[in-house]
Structure 1
Amino acid sequence: MSKRITPFASRYCSTLDRLKEAIRRKRSGLLRRGVVLQHHNATPHSANLTQQWLQRYGWEILPPSAHSPDLAHSDFHLFGPFKRHLGGMAFET
């Protein structure tokens, strides 16, 4: 099996299909302006099948942040509630 072919790539493309449909239903203007996606270099993300999918729909890929390599992209939804919870608090240490 080639390094760039993975059974998980088709699963990831299915996930992108569902994401595209959700964007179409909820925020269709984003699809017309273009989607910018940030993911890392996991095998399903860099597989030829995934790259072809992204090229077909014209989605732009941002490189992962070099400043926080230990943060998972799936955790970014936590920052807003966390900031609101800690807002106005003072810490001595």
Structure 2
Amino acid sequence: MFSVFFNARGVISVTRVPEGRTVTAQFYVRKCLRKTLAKLRKDVGKKKMRHQLLHHDNARPHTASLTKIFLKSRKVKLFPHPPYSPDLSPCDFYLFWKMKDLLRGKHYKSATEAEAAVRGALRRLSINGFSAVFDDWLSRCEKCIKYKGDYFE
């Protein structure tokens, strides 16, 4: 399992979750968010960090008090995610599907080999950036508002 953060330009960070490890709020903050925010700050600069929005779904590690406190202490603004809305998560409607297509039918001898394949697939996806994904995401958000949370095609 991997934690992947990306923006319109491409992948920001990838963290492999050790086999058998449960992703807790503590793991999410210490291993995923800290690394991601440090890389993002390096990429966009300190001034532009205050204009960045973080979007993640409502998984327990994302909504835990520890995570909220950490993000607040770093002045990170969250883009809200409505409950039960996988159609509004770029990972669900784009990234997971693309990764499955790129990795389908392949077998790996070790976790290290699998991680190299995942990172390679993410690099291929990042070549053109993810700007179209975020355009689609905004369109989906607008539809969700228009249809007041009802399902739409």
TM-score normalised over the length of structure 1: 0.61
* Cα deviation code 1:6-59 (max 9, x no counterpart): 96111111211111111122111322x342111121100111110110110111
8 Å contact from structure 1 (residues 39, 73) kept in 2: no
Does residue 1:30 correspond to 2:30, yes or no?
no
Does residue 1:61 correspond to 2:53, yes or no?
no
Over 3 Å counting, the alpha-carbon distance change for 1:39 and 1:24 in structure 2 is same
1:44 pairs with one of 34, 57, 61 = 61
Q: Secondary structure at the match of 1:70?
A: helix
Over 3 Å counting, the alpha-carbon distance change for 1:23 and 1:78 in structure 2 is closer
1:12 pairs with one of 2, 7, 28 = 28
Q: Secondary structure at the match of 1:58?
A: coil
Structure 1: tracts of 5 or more residues without a match: 1-5, 81-93
> What root-mean-square deviation, in Å, do the aligned CA atoms of Structure 1 and Structure 2 show?
2.9
> Structure 1 residue runs of 4+, over 2 Å off?
68-80
TM-score normalised over the length of structure 2: 0.40
Structure 2: tracts of 5 or more residues without a match: 1-21, 96-129, 134-153
Identity of aligned residues (%): 29
8 Å contact from structure 2 (residues 52, 77) kept in 1: yes
**1:61, CA displacement in angstroms?**
1.0
Q: Secondary structure at the match of 2:86?
A: coil
Greater CA radius of gyration, 1 or 2?
Answer: 1
Match in the other structure for 2:139: none
